[in-house]
Structures are given as structure tokens and as C-alpha cells.
């Protein structure tokens, strides 16, 4: 695994399995499972699959860091502005 974040997630998932902690979904679930299978750790990979990590979509932040900074600077809620704009567009009759 070349990606440092994916490698850290793999280590975390293995630690969770070893200690019996709740399995935490991460951004690199599929890469972790593939790496475990490639290393011959099929039992651990199957536990992660059974926990539903293979099917979970990669989490995405609601706002990008630049958008969050803009929102803090301008004090304008981006989601609220989008909703107002959408309602105005839907109600427009040329």
C-alpha cells in the first residue's frame, strides 16, 4: 500500500479487530480489504466485508476547506443560499 492514509487505516482496522473494538469505517475501506487479501489475511478481510465496509461509499465532507473558510469570512451559509436560490428558480415563470 503506497498511500500513507490507507496504510494507517489498515493498521487501525487490524488493531480494532485484535482488541475487539467497534470497526470504524474509513475513506479507504476497499483498499484496506484488498491489501489484507493480498497479504493472505483473508479472515480479517472477510470480517471487514461482513461489517459492510466494502459497500460503504467514501465519506465526503459537506464543505471543502475553501468553502468553509469563505462561509466563515462572509457569514453566509452556503447550503441555505443554495436552497433559497433553488426555490427562487423553481418559482420563476418567464
CB 12 within 8 A of CB 6: no
Query: Are residues 83 and 46 both part of a single domain?
Result: no
Average pLDDT, the chain: 90
Query: Are residues 43 and 70 both part of a single domain?
Result: no
The range of the structural domain enclosing residue 92 comes to 61-94
Residue 93 lies in a domain: yes
Q: Helix, strand, or coil here: 92? A: coil
Q: Model pTM greater than 0.85?
A: no
Reported as a pLDDT band with limits 50, 70 and 90, residue 21 is very high
Average pLDDT rounded to a whole number, residues 81-89: 92
Amino acid at each position: 500500500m503506497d498511500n500513507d492514509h490507507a496504510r494507517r487505516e489498515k493498521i487501525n482496522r487490524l488493531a480494532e479487530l485484535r482488541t475487539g473494538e467497534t470497526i470504524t469505517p474509513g475513506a479507504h475501506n476497499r483498499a484496506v480489504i484488498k491489501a489484507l487479501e493480498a497479504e493472505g489475511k483473508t479472515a480479517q478481510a472477510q470480517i471487514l466485508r461482513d461489517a459492510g465496509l466494502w459497500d460503504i461509499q467514501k465519506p465526503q465532507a459537506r464543505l471543502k476547506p475553501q468553502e468553509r473558510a469563505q462561509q466563515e469570512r462572509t457569514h453566509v451559509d452556503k447550503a441555505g443560499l443554495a436552497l433559497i436560490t433553488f426555490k427562487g428558480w423553481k418559482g420563476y415563470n418567464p
